[in-house]
A and B are shown apart, each in its own frame.
Chain A
Amino acid sequence: MSAGEETFERVFWQVLNDLQEGEAKPIESYLRLVPREDREELSLMLADVLLARGPASAPGAAAGAGYERAVSIVDEVLGSRGETGLLPGALKAMRKARGIEPEGVVERLAADFGVEGEEGRRALARNYHRLETGRLLGSKLSRRLLASLAAVFDVDPVEVRDAARPASQGPSLQSVPAMGRGAGAGSSTAARPSPERLPDPEVELVERLFHGGPDA
């Protein structure tokens, strides 16, 4: 069988499969996949198939509300890909579906890392919010933070780690630790500790977890 015949056959069976799955695309899109000289023959064969199947059901009739919601979740999560990959969107979607408040996640993280003080918890809440809104760098998240998040959401840590890889076309961001360590001139002055105040060790720990890199 020549390559052209093979393509022809494959496209034909693909149309049948798609029709069966209810996922058929416009016929022109299939015709474009075979060489020009084969298009007439394929269109005649497909016309026979469609004639035999009878009229199609109303558009959207097969797609239930659940399907539509799932597609919109996928669309939302993919649309939010950025410097933390698709992790922020996925975490938010899972959290909402499971009815977990952000405070619930923060509580679990605080327990995992022994953060008990008010300042440390505030830093955790602030950084988790930044993570969920895609404002952190995936490459700066520590492995132990990712492992803890995986435990909170009951998923494999490898998935969380791989999902946090920055998208290569994402918006360019700078990591801005709230403690001001290594921050450039554009960093927030409000987040910088006053010179006379020693940094809270718990806040420092939280900043390391979210901004210190994989080994922090």
Chain B
Amino acid sequence: MAQFDPVEERAVEMLDDLELEAVRAETVPHNDERFEFVLWVLCLRGVAVIERVCQSRGKARGLDEQEIELAIEDAAARMLLRLSRLDPQPQIHALAGQIAAESVDRAWPSQPRAAKLSRRPPELRLVKGLDRAIEKGRVRPNDWENS
């Protein structure tokens, strides 16, 4: 990351969420190193919220530790995308919370899913003479009580 005047860096870090969003909106069209620093500071604030929301909501929805970590990573990446938008965005705490909730609510790989019917066609085999064998009593149909 590019280096800036430490006073300017500190000044950016000291801004409250609303002021920081204003600076983001001002610097995002330039997409330069100053914007990158603003984005970094915003993300640090957002990441703390993402972690908290993903942990609590993820546990409530039955996600395991690994899935929660993946949801956190997903939300972190989505937050960066969202903060790249040119239009104004909500305060970072609210935005991060919303994104984290959406990430947790995705279908994660090991979440239980509704049973699906198999697409595979049933494999049926015709046995020649089976009907006669049943008639003669040499073969009996399956009986769930005896078999």
Contact = CB atoms under 8 A, between A and B. Distances in A.
A169 to B, nearest CB: 5
A85 B2 contact: no
B84 A163 contact: yes
B84 A78 contact: no
A204 B19 CA distance: 47
A74 B69 contact: no
B147 to A, nearest CB: 43
A67 B71 contact: no
Q: Give the interface SS of chain A, mostly helix, strand, loop or mixed.
A: helix
Interface in B1-50: 1-2, 6-7, 10-11, 13-14, 16, 28, 30-33, 36, 39-40, 43-45, 47-48, 50
B39 A97 contact: no
Given A86-B80, A97-B73, A158-B85, A67 B47 contact: yes
B22 to A, nearest CB: 15
B78 interface: yes
B14 A66 contact: no
A94 B84 contact: no
A89 B2 CA distance: 18
* Size category of the binding interface on chain A: 35 or more
Contacts of B85: 158-159, 162
Contacts of B71: 97
A-B complex: 6 closest residue pairs judged by Cβ atoms: A93-B77, A97-B74, A70-B76, A163-B84, A97-B73, A73-B76
Interface of A: 10-11, 14, 21-23, 25, 29-30, 32-33, 64-67, 69-71, 73-74, 77-79, 81, 85-87, 89-90, 93-94, 96-99, 154-155, 158-160, 162-163, 165-169
